[in-house]
Chain A
Amino acid sequence: MKFQAIDQFAANLKPSTQAAVYDGSKKGYDARTKTLFDHFEDPNRLRVVAGEIKQHVVENLDTYLPQVEAKLQANGVIVHWAATAEAANQAVLDIMRARNAKKMVKSKTMVSEETELGHFLEKNGVECVETDLGEFIIQIDGDHPSHLVKPIIHKNRRDIAVSFEKHGLGAYNDDPQTITQRARVHLRKKYLEADVALTGANFISAESGRLVLVTNEGNSRFCLAAAKTHIAMVGIEKILPRDRDLALLLNLLARSATGQQLTVYTEFITGPKSAAQPDGPEEMHVIFVDNGRTDVLASECREILRCIRCGACLNVCPVYRQASGHAYRSVYPGPVGAVLTPLLAGKNFPAFADLPKASSLCGACNEVCPVNIPIPDLLLRLRDKGKQAHVPSPGMPPMGPWALLASQPTVWKAALVGGKIINHLPTKLLPIPALRAWENKRSLPEWKGGDFRKWMKGRARPLGAPNVSRGGPSGPALPGNIL
């Protein structure tokens, strides 16, 4: 049997990795549920309103983008625009070269993963150090993150201890406290030597031009306390209309991601350091990155641009839990990735058309999404798009013949009765892929086609005739029965 790529990946996944991913995801889901429901009267209402706010921004980006740009410039920030990943990377390099900067410390930002900034800079002679602990470990391993918020959810302490030893960070020691201490000591030097700090932005307020950075470790604070130049790479969709909307979204973000009320550090940055402050950037740049977002905006799935990258959908997704993030072959895994990745791929859509199929459409992702993105609907639209682009789908039973059957009642009824033969056939030997895939793991129930209809015919009365079965109008009155 030929399996879909993600299904195959799940089948081949090391049990210890699968267990780590499952446990980490479940912890995140449980923590989210607890804090949201303990703290708020109506947590679902928060998600709905936040979703409306973000949808409003998405549908009015033509107004908000110039507005935010003007505000940033008035605050003393230098604004750049990058239509592609290449342009974004080049913009960063140009800024660094203009300042003769050779060393960068990087706070976690998914956009920079999209553009593969780190590799680009290294190729061009710039040292680029990831400072988020999980991303740092990914970097030294040459690995890829497998979750939006918890990049090494797929690794255990032994994996990390081995990596640290391999990269000269000390003899094998898998105590989490020691691992963290070692990273702290190693990275402190890097921050203090860096010329440039690169961050993303979780939100930008159109009202004040404030960038908001949400972290726990203190790495972005350190980046912005040590380096002389700050560059922020920001997707064009990260805008919020008003400062007060930040209160709503901040209340949702950390709770949805990790079950925290707030992350340890929420930074509101409007520009370079103040004149009297000895530490921090003297210059601040914002690079607005498109890299396919305008394609998403033009599609019928633009709601996905509401995403605030909390990872709640990953945590609850039963498919993500079984397959792990790497199964999605992209920067964005899980339910959000299954929509965003194929769309951001533009002309390369067919290469990722299988992602939206890796879902039972259970809807749990929409239920936990802090901005109420109707992910299952978007997955369905992408399945339609895939069919129209003639992307083949391994294992999918052919729907054309089925539709013919299901629109011709006489043939359908005959097939129902004729199908009884299946009860007597060695179904395992039939060359029907769908049947084999089913029976590989499950038994098939007995075929009873035609039996109900026969019974119903025997029972039927002419329409409009009084119902004479035992429980009808002459029978006992049921409490609350309004008929």
Chain B
Amino acid sequence: MSADREAILSRVRGALAPLHQRASLPDWDNELIHMRTLRGDVDAWTLFQARMKLVNGLPLEGAPALVAWLVQNNWTHGYCDPLLWPRLQSAFPAGFTVETTFDRTRVDDYQFGITRAAGAVAETGTLIFTDAATSSRLAALTPWAHIAVLDRAQIHLDLQHAVTQLADDPNIIFCTGPSKTADVEGILIEGVHGPGQQVALLLE
């Protein structure tokens, strides 16, 4: 296999040898990818909400709003990150079963999963997940509804900003709306392998 390594690298060198000059790396300004219609003087959470709605995500504020939405959908059995549960527990009435450990042998038991976001991107309506902030990758992904809990201070204004401040984490996910496909005749269907409902919950 290291023979393959040498073979490949020597072929690469051989292929590039005849070039008199190598193409240089251009410098580019952030202005290049500045999205024009989006800004004005809105605060990040306001912009984030607007952009998230465009991709069919659901931004909510406060635990009571979340509970009302879950009740409306009749989703009463779910999972919550144990570090978050103390902040949310009081808003949940009886009749809810919320587990704080995720049992992967019973994935279909969980109708919703609540985990922490590590950040967000306002201009795209994107939530950011990391291994460090996500108590269980499966819990954030397998239930039909995923709720990512967000703090105002975590919201980046734009993609450029977010990408140059990626955390030192092995698995960072930029999540923009519920999972979807258009493989069948180009028709948009939500909720494929990931959640069919993606919520961003702002908790102060």
- Please report which residues of chain B, range 96-145, place their CB below 8 angstroms from some CB of chain A when the two chains form the complex: 102, 104, 107-108, 124, 126, 131-132, 134-138, 141-142
B104 nearest in chain A by CB position = A192
Query: B108 — which chain A residues lie within 8 A by C-beta?
Result: 188
Contact (A217, B193) CB under 8 Å given A274-B131, A279-B137, A280-B137: yes
Query: What is the size, in residues, of chain B's interface with A at 8 Å between Cβ atoms?
Result: 73
Q: Is the Cβ of A222 less than 8 Å from the Cβ of B142?
A: yes
Q: Is the Cβ of B124 less than 8 Å from the Cβ of A262?
A: yes
Among B30-38, B65-73, B85-93, B147-155, which stretch is in contact with chain A? Answer: B30-38
Complex Cα–Cα for A157 and B2 (A): 47
Residue A391 at the chain B interface, CB threshold 8 Å: no
Query: B8 — which chain A residues lie within 8 A by C-beta?
Result: 65, 81, 83, 236, 288, 290, 294
| Chain B nearest CB, measured from A86 CB (Å) | 11
Of the candidates A188, A261, A265, A297, which one forms a contact with B179 in the assembled complex, judged by CB atoms under 8 Å apart?
A: A265
Task: Provide the B164-204 mask, 1 if CB < 8 A to any CB of A, else 0.
Answer: 10100111111111111111111101011111000000000
| Chain A nearest CB, measured from B66 CB (Å) | 21
Of the candidates B5, B33, B135, B175, which one forms a contact with A265 in the assembled complex, judged by CB atoms under 8 Å apart?
A: B175
- Please report which residues of chain A, range 201-221, place their CB below 8 angstroms from some CB of chain B when the two chains form the complex: 208, 210, 216-219, 221
B187 nearest in chain A by CB position = A176
Q: Is the Cβ of B176 less than 8 Å from the Cβ of A264?
A: yes
Of the candidates A66, A134, A177, A302, which one forms a contact with B9 in the assembled complex, judged by CB atoms under 8 Å apart?
A: A66
Complex Cα–Cα for A276 and B176 (A): 25
Query: What is the size, in residues, of chain A's interface with B at 8 Å between Cβ atoms?
Result: 100
Complex Cα–Cα for A222 and B136 (A): 12
Of the candidates A49, A133, A246, which one forms a contact with B26 in the assembled complex, judged by CB atoms under 8 Å apart?
A: A49
The A interface, classified by DSSP as helix, strand, loop or mixed, is helix
Q: Is the Cβ of A150 less than 8 Å from the Cβ of B182?
A: yes
Query: B19 — which chain A residues lie within 8 A by C-beta?
Result: 59
Complex Cα–Cα for A75 and B169 (A): 10
Residue A187 at the chain B interface, CB threshold 8 Å: yes
Task: Provide the B52-85 mask, 1 if CB < 8 A to any CB of A, else 0.
Answer: 0001000000000000000000000000000000
Task: Provide the A283-313 mask, 1 if CB < 8 A to any CB of B, else 0.
Answer: 0000010100010011000100000000000
Query: A260 — which chain B residues lie within 8 A by C-beta?
Result: 176
Contact (A39, B37) CB under 8 Å given A81-B1, A133-B181, A221-B141: yes
Query: B163 — which chain A residues lie within 8 A by C-beta?
Result: 243-244, 246-247, 250
Of the candidates B32, B131, B169, B183, which one forms a contact with A152 in the assembled complex, judged by CB atoms under 8 Å apart?
A: B183
Query: B187 — which chain A residues lie within 8 A by C-beta?
Result: 176
Complex Cα–Cα for A266 and B38 (A): 21
| Chain A nearest CB, measured from B142 CB (Å) | 7
| Chain B nearest CB, measured from A139 CB (Å) | 13
Q: Is the Cβ of A176 less than 8 Å from the Cβ of B170?
A: no
Of the candidates B102, B169, B181, which one forms a contact with A180 in the assembled complex, judged by CB atoms under 8 Å apart?
A: B181
Contact (A264, B177) CB under 8 Å given A49-B28, A271-B170: yes
Residue A367 at the chain B interface, CB threshold 8 Å: no
Q: Is the Cβ of A177 less than 8 Å from the Cβ of B189?
A: yes
Complex Cα–Cα for A69 and B5 (A): 11
| Chain B nearest CB, measured from A201 CB (Å) | 14
Q: Is the Cβ of A157 less than 8 Å from the Cβ of B184?
A: yes
Query: B172 — which chain A residues lie within 8 A by C-beta?
Result: 267-269
Query: A137 — which chain B residues lie within 8 A by C-beta?
Result: 183
- Please report which residues of chain B, range 1-47, place their CB below 8 angstroms from some CB of chain A when the two chains form the complex: 1-2, 4-5, 7-9, 11-16, 19, 22-26, 28, 32-38
Complex Cα–Cα for A61 and B13 (A): 8
Tell which of B22, B35, B131 has the most Cβ of chain A within 10 Å.
Answer: B131
Complex Cα–Cα for A83 and B4 (A): 5
Instruction: List 27 interface pairs A-B (beta carbons < 8 Å), by A numbering.
Output: A24-B185, A38-B37, A40-B35, A49-B32, A53-B26, A56-B22, A59-B23, A61-B12, A65-B12, A82-B1, A151-B183, A177-B189, A183-B192, A192-B104, A216-B182, A217-B179, A222-B142, A225-B137, A225-B141, A243-B163, A247-B159, A248-B28, A264-B176, A265-B173, A268-B172, A274-B131, A279-B136
Given A39-B37, A217-B180; 5 other pairs, CB 8 A cutoff: A39-B36, A81-B2, A222-B194, A225-B142, A278-B102
